[in-house]
Amino acid sequence: MALRALFAKKTLTCASSFAPVSACLDRCLGSSVRQDRALTLAALPDLAYDYGALEPVISGEIMRLHHQKHHQSYVTNYNNALEQLDAAIAKGDAPAVVRLQSAIKFNGGGHINHTIFWQNLKPVNEGGGESPHSSLGWAIDEDFGSFEALVQKINAEGAALQGSGWVWLALDKTSKKLTVETTANQDPLVTKGATLIPLLGIDVWEHAYYLQYQNVRPDYLKNIWKVIDWKYASQVYETATA
Ligand SMILES: [Fe+2]
């Protein structure tokens, strides 16, 4: 009875799926919704490639720790906060509801950001690093002058970001213009504006590169372009501009 009650209360998304991240992104990111008092929790998405498949750009050890430890902890802590929030709302405990917002923002943001990041990466032998073509390629040329100028801008802003955070290539769906943005800590791009759609997010937390690049973040940024999956970014762009 207790077990049945637990399953009625919680629904894990993507928890047992071996589908690539892209197949469950919407479910994973759209999972924190309440439906008829049920609380749907987030789950760690599977990667579409092996941990060592991005070497030598990103080591397998970094990828394993990043996915299994760091991303998993964001998922766990986000779910814990959601459960506490659900209980606080049920009790009408307003101070607890407010207190939980920072944990939800940090851990929920970590889950959102990393779920996008894994999809922005692809092994070289599967097309990683191939420059964007068609509509996104043309938009990059129009808004930044050239693809090389965009890479230079992202590398500069990512290197200059103090502490931990993310550097993004985003589409402003209102103006239809591309823009480069940075966010601190695990703030997701939506905190910079509700009209911004993330096409590419690069994690510049030390846990993303330190074991391999030590404190030389610019080298990590210079190399990561060799494993960026521009097809994913193009698909998001084309869907958003259709
Ligand atoms: Fe990370």
Taking the chain, what is the end-to-end CA distance rounded to the nearest angstrom? 49
Domain co-membership, 80 together with 178: no
pLDDT per position as a tens digit, 7-58: 333 433 333 333 344 444 444 454 434 344 689 999 999 999 999 999 999 9
Range of the domain at 55: 2-119
pLDDT of residue 133: 84
pLDDT of residue 156: 98
pLDDT at 68 over 80: yes
Domain co-membership, 113 together with 46: yes
Domain co-membership, 100 together with 143: no
Give 187 or 33, the one with higher predicted confidence: 187
Confirm if 58 and 224 have CB atoms less than 8 A apart: yes
d(CA 118, CA 177): 24
DSSP H stretches of helix in the chain: 2-9, 21-29, 60-64, 72-91, 94-99, 101-119, 134-144, 147-160, 210-213, 217-224, 230-241
62 Cα to the center of ligand 1, angstroms: 10
pLDDT of residue 16: 32
pLDDT of residue 8: 31
Q: Supply the CATH number for residue 54's domain.
A: 1.10.287.990
2 Cα to the center of ligand 1, angstroms: 36
pLDDT per position as a tens digit, 197-219: 999 999 999 999 999 999 999 99
75 Cα to the center of ligand 1, angstroms: 12
Per-residue pLDDT averaged across 75-85, rounded? Answer: 98
